[in-house]
Amino acid sequence: MTSTNNNSTDLVNIRDLLPEDIPILPLVIRPIFPNILTPIAFTGEDFLQAIKDAEEHYNGFIGLVFVKDIDDNDYFNSTLYDVGTVVKINKVTSISQDSVQAIVFGVERFKKKKVVPGNSRLCWKVKYNKENADSSIELKAYMLAIMTSLKEIFEVNPILKEELKLLVSQASYDHPSIFIDFVSSMLKAEAKDLQELLEEFNIVNRSQRLLTMLKKELEISQLQAKISKQIEDKVSKQQKEYFLREQLKLIKQELGLEKDEKSAVIDKIVDKINHIHLSPEAEKIVDEQLEKLSLLDQGSPEYHVARTYIESIVELPWGVFSKDRLDIKKAKTILDRDHYGLEDIKNSILEFVSTVIKTGNVNGSILCLVGPPGVGKTSIGKSIAESLNRKFYRFSVGGMVDEAEIKGHRRTYIGAMPGKIIQALKLVQTSNPVIMIDEIDKIGNSFRGDPASALLEVLDPEQNKDFLDHYLDIRYDLSKILFVTTANQLDTIPRPLLDRMEIIHLSGYILEEKLQIAQKYLIPQQLKAHALDNKEITISKNALKFIIDKYAREAGVRTLDKCIRKIMRKVNLKIAEGNKEKVRINENNVESYLGAPIFTTEELYQNEIPGVTLGLAWTSMGGATLYIEAASISNKESGLKLTGQLGDVMKESAEIAYSYIRSLLAKDATATLPTETKEFFDKNRVHLHVPEGATPKDGPSAGITMALALYSLATNTPIRKGIAMTGELTLTGKVLPIGGVREKTIAARRVGIFELLLPKDNKKDFDRLPDFLKTGITVNYVDYFTDVINYAIKK
């Protein structure tokens, strides 16, 4: 936009020709001001025809009005402001089938009086605002202030430099309205604000509004200039630093003080190779890769792949071994320090450690620590590593479904990396660490691979001497590594994997053991973790017994540790609230810290009831007691109904027990049983239920318990109180041995049962138990079910 060259006389002449009725065109971008020569462009048949009508019937005059609410379908139906600018079409520069471009001169403001009816196009009757020169002192002051603001904008915004110079040089107090309109047309303000400026007919008020908008424009320009300068300074600084670094690098290279990056990387790798003992295979591949690396450009993706691969090889501890500690007494001290009880476990580990110390290798043995959660399997692995003075690395394979996690990814993949074993060696920097593989019984298997099978090569002593990781593609000797695995149960471990491991069972703890563990280990650890000492809190022995019995009956000590932690947190809260007195936790106030007891009693029945027996079961969480109930329903159709979420094995045990007891009663040779007892199963339908129906149960050791419940029901004789049993039953009444004697004994002691019925063939297992487990327990060994009846049925 440029200012018009017409003099004031020409303007007066043009204004005298202004018609009262003028055609109207809507503007959608911004309003147009008077006294300005402006190019315009419109698209559409209606706009084209309106321009033609203005030239033919209105002496080239047409009104341009800014749109308030636009109608996208028809611009002429849009809501318009009442004030616009009448323009004179100076020249039509371009015209086509549906568009027109022209140069127009803004003549005068106008205000809508009314819409002229009967026109095919939009036409208004308008009132013009014919301004006269005003030379008041106030207006001159505003003009001076506007020019000052323009000069300030010119200083911070060089883009408007030439236009502002021209404007300031031609500024005249004789025609302030022309000057103000020209400045207004240059503003980058919102279209709505410009419309308000256009609607201001009073020139003094318009000058005031324009000055306010210029001040705002100046603030924005200053802020933009500040931001631009900050960015420019930052970029200039980075460029300067970059050029200086490059110059410094070249100077150092010329003086022989520094090599280029690629040479430095290769020299570093070569220096590393000189300090390790690569295998012949690895040495050959590294030499080939180094030659390839020297030929590749640093910006090439292959360069980074080759560099990462070589570094992965040379960072492994080739030929590096830690020296084993040859002190079995020290090993015993460490095990005793870290673990209470577990004497048989400790002896097995000490035997194993002594063999490693004597022979200098692990002899292909892989330990598998099996036991319930929280009994200390992982911490035993750490103790073994400390006993041997070896580095320790642990990772879990629980839920792992990708064999590449074990054997590495092939280098064809983006983001390929070695497997967990190679990563462990790279981290510990020794070729004979203790590596613990946790949760091996929970390893996954899917269409993506079978990591359990991949572990075979890792754990098999005949194969791991030449372990081949897919990423390295170089054989590495794993035979010096001591592998220790952990599991909660053996059933889910694949048989080929299980055959390669030496099993060590860790059973749960009884109340006395948990009490000692809490006093010697858990409480001191939690006191330290919570920044407390014995002057601030004490937990009595009876309180610990109460916590163990009522809140933490599981096989391990993890829940017991959580309970102690919860108490410590509550004590810290009391101290923070200003309590200065020592907190004493006893049996009477434990509930105020831990809430209502979780376990009340497992003795569901206070009275002896026919058809109810107490069995002993083994689970992955340790031993447990299990009630079995039998009830009869008089029915012509006999049969057996089972409930309690029983697995297939327990269902078969129940059917065997049902068949055996029914056969036993029917063949009563002594005729000592009444007729109704012999015919009990013919006239009654029996329902056998195992409580806690939401808990799945399975296993072969509930045979005699189920059979005794059915016998007790049929003969209407209760079982003696305080007795629990376990054993597998055959159809001939033979009682077969079971597993988990230790866990089941612990479960019985935990609930106060001290008389047990065990299969005769399990006598050796019970005799091997520690004395503190056997003390006070009476065991009756049974060979046939008739022995069970003799011991258990109340005479």
- Positions marked catalytic: 701, 744
Cα 44 to Cα 76: distance, rounded to the nearest angstrom: 11
Contact yes or no for 718/609 (Cβ under 8 A): yes
Tally of CB atoms within 10 A around 163: 16
Which secondary structure element, helix H or strand E, spans residue 55, and what is its range? helix 45-57
Q: How many angstroms separate the Cα of 719 from the Cα of each of 590, 607, 609, 792?
A: 36, 10, 7, 6
Residue in 524, 516, 519, 511 with CA at minimum distance from that of residue 599: 511
Q: Which two tokens stand for residue 302?
A: 């292959």
Cα 64 to Cα 213: distance, rounded to the nearest angstrom: 23
Q: Which two tokens stand for residue 402?
A: 């990708």
- Which DSSP category does 98 fall into? S
Phi, psi of 319 (to 5 degrees): 70, 10
Cα 115 to Cα 176: distance, rounded to the nearest angstrom: 32
Longest dimension (CA), the chain: 145
Cα 443 to Cα 112: distance, rounded to the nearest angstrom: 84
Amino acid residing at 771:
D
Cα 227 to Cα 211: distance, rounded to the nearest angstrom: 24
Cα 183 to Cα 205: distance, rounded to the nearest angstrom: 15
Q: How many angstroms separate the Cα of 653 from the Cα of each of 50, 151, 640, 703, 729?
A: 100, 102, 12, 5, 7
Q: Residues, the chain, total?
A: 795
Query: Which residues are bridge partners to 79 per DSSP?
Result: 69
* Helix, strand, coil fractions of the chain, as percent rounded to 5: 45, 20, 35
Contact yes or no for 574/593 (Cβ under 8 A): no
Per-residue DSSP letters for 164-184? HHHHHHH--SS-HHHHHHHHH
